[in-house]
Amino acid sequence: MQRRTVPLSDLAHHIGETYFESPWMSIDEPHLAQFAHATYLDPAFTDLTASKNNPLGATLVDGFLLMSMLTAFHFNNSPVAGEGLYGFNYGMDRVRFTHPVFVGEKIRCVATLAEVEARADGTYLVKTDNTIEIEGKDKPAMVARWLSLFATRDPGAPAKA
């Protein structure tokens, strides 16, 4: 499927529209274990065998892993295009984890463009409403408003340290 592209300067014309809908994917045990390792969790609390620590079971996908998946979903599916363009993580306005996700279940992100603010310094604050859906479930796993600050760099200018 061809990904549509929208220049950053035209993005405000698309408020309220679907920003993107990602393909379905599943989180496997190695990625769940890598997330636990990357977040410095004690291995006693992240063992993927029968879990004494989690009443929902060892294969429950952590909500913060779902939230971090927004990076991949946006990076791989965002329609924003432009030379020297970079999107900084500016934060979250609201995040709710509304349904558990377990290893092997398929998820996808449906993002809607909520707000675009062009700033005097040439940056754009872009707010998206993101819903992580679970295949076959009526209730989403997570809903979040994510703020990204887009900036461009003159391709001929050196990167700042």
How many distinct structural domains can be found in the chain?
1
How far apart are the two ends of the chain, measured CA to CA in Å? 37
Average of per-residue pLDDT values in the chain = 86
Q: Does residue 6 belong to any structural domain of this protein?
A: no
- Helix H or strand E segment including 68: helix 63-77
47-53 CB contacts, 8 Å cutoff, 24+ apart: 48/103
Tell me, what's the pLDDT at 62?
84
In the predicted model, what is the mean pLDDT of residues 155-159? 58
Classify the C-alpha dihedral 135-141-147-151 as positive or negative: negative
Sign of CA dihedral 78, 81, 84, 89: negative
* Whole-number pLDDT of residue 157: 57
List pLDDT tens digits, range 12-62. 999 999 999 999 999 888 887 777 777 776 666 555 554 556 666 668 888
* 161 inside domain: no
Give me the CATH number covering residue 70: 3.10.129.10
Mean pLDDT across 99-109:
95
Q: Tell me, yes or no, whether 119 lies in a domain.
A: yes
Q: What are phi and psi of 46, to 5 degrees?
A: -125, 15
Is 1 within a domain? no
φ, ψ dihedrals at 60, nearest 5°: -65, 130
Determine the pLDDT at residue 2. 47
By residue range, what is the domain housing residue 131?
Answer: 14-152
Residues 153, 160: Cα–Cα separation, whole Å = 10
Q: Is the pLDDT of residue 100 over 80?
A: yes
Contacts of 73 (CB under 8 A, 6+ apart): 20, 22, 108, 109, 111, 130
pLDDT in tens, 109-137: 999 999 999 999 999 999 999 999 999 99
Q: Of 56, 46, 49, which Cα lies nearest the Cα of 101? A: 56
Torsional class of 90: left (φ above 0), alpha (ψ -120 to 50), beta (otherwise): alpha
Tell me, yes or no, whether 7 lies in a domain: no
Q: Flag whether 159 is in a domain.
A: no
- pTM of the predicted model as reported, rounded to 2 decimal places: 0.84
Residue 108's pLDDT band (cuts 50, 70, 90)? very high
